[in-house]
């Protein structure tokens, strides 16, 4: 059987994609994450590498980390991802799954970049209504924290908050309940896809205008980046 690779952001959407794939008896064989090699953190989400590795441990899945320089040009990004695709095919992977919800330009870009690589993209969450999807995630026991917010859209008080029903109620009407337009990003630390929860606590806030990052820490990896 050909293996399936999952694009893993450390957030709720990729976690839910894993959950749905497993419900369909599709076996994910590895996680793929891009990491800012200078900061040692998940690209965009700002999550420490140590927390990312705790997720992979609880999921019992190999973690493929793709180091990206900072700043990173689009050409360099695509070159490094092309190398990953070559590795994946050589190791028996035929499919890569993404947690995208409805942004057609992002889906089209992924499909275009994978053309001719030997890997087929799948989008297990595609077109699911995000208000229902957000509530289903929370009802299942999925637990996540907001690690990054766009302060042009959300006030700083949202930084580090739990992704829960109270958060959904407090979001402005213009904000997607799953943050699909980049309003916020999350780190998922518990849920039906994990063998055990990952203990997390809120650290300092860091501003990189217009984004505000919450530095999450875990007693399970107190000294690692």
In a domain, 222, yes or no: no
Task: Give pLDDT, residue 223.
Answer: 53
State the Cα–Cα distance between residues 62 and 46, nearest whole angstrom.
Answer: 21
Task: Give ∠ CA 6-58-56 in degrees, rounded to 5.
Answer: 40
Task: Give pLDDT, residue 225.
Answer: 46
In a domain, 224, yes or no: no
Q: Phi/psi at 146 (nearest 5 deg)?
A: -75, 120
State the Cα–Cα distance between residues 104 and 133, nearest whole angstrom.
Answer: 18
State the Cα–Cα distance between residues 5 and 94, nearest whole angstrom.
Answer: 8
Task: Print the domain residue range for 96.
Answer: 3-217
Number of domains in the chain: 1
Torsion, Cα of 10, 63, 33, 96 (10° steps): -100
> What's the whole-number average pLDDT of the chain?
96
> Splitting the chain (225 residues) into consecutive groups of 10 residues, what average pLDDT does each group show?
92 98 95 94 94 97 96 95 97 97 98 97 98 98 98 97 98 97 98 97 95 95 55
Model pLDDT for residues 133-167, shown as the tens digit of each residue: 999 999 999 999 999 999 999 999 999 999 999 99
Residue with tokens 């217009």: 210
Tokens of 210: 């217009």
User: Residue 98 is part of a domain; what is its CATH number?
Assistant: 3.40.50.620
In a domain, 223, yes or no: no
- The reply to whether the predicted model has a pTM over 0.75 is yes
The strand pairing partners of 67, in sequence order, are 35
Task: Give ∠ CA 74-82-12 in degrees, rounded to 5.
Answer: 75
Model pLDDT for residues 75-85, shown as the tens digit of each residue: 999 999 999 99
In a domain, 9, yes or no: yes
């Amino acid at each position: 059987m050909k293996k399936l690779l999952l694009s893993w952001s450390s957030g709720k959407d990729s976690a839910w994609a894993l959950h749905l794939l497993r419900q369909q008896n599709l076996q994910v064989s590895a996680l793929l994450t891009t990491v800012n090699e200078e900061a040692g953190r998940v690209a965009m989400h700002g999550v420490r590498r140590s927390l990312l590795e705790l997720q992979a441990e609880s999921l019992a899945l190999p973690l493929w980390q793709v180091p990206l320089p900072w700043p990173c040009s689009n050409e360099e990004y695509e070159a490094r991802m092309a190398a990953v695709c070559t590795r994946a095919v050589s190791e028996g992977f035929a499919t890569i799954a993404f947690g995208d919800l409805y942004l057609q330009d992002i889906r089209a870009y992924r499909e275009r970049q994978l053309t001719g690589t030997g890997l087929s993209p799948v989008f297990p969450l595609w077109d699911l209504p995000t208000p229902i999807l957000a509530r289903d995630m929370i009802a299942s026991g999925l637990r996540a924290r907001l690690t990054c917010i766009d302060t042009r859209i959300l006030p700083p008080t949202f930084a580090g908050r739990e992704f829960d029903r109270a958060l959904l109620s407090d979001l402005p009407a213009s904000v997607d309940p799953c943050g699909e337009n980049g309003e916020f990003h999350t780190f998922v630390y518990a849920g039906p896809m994990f063998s055990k929860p990952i203990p997390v606590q809120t650290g300092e806030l860091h501003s990189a205008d217009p984004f505000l990052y919450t530095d999450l820490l875990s007693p399970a990896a107190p000294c690692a980046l």
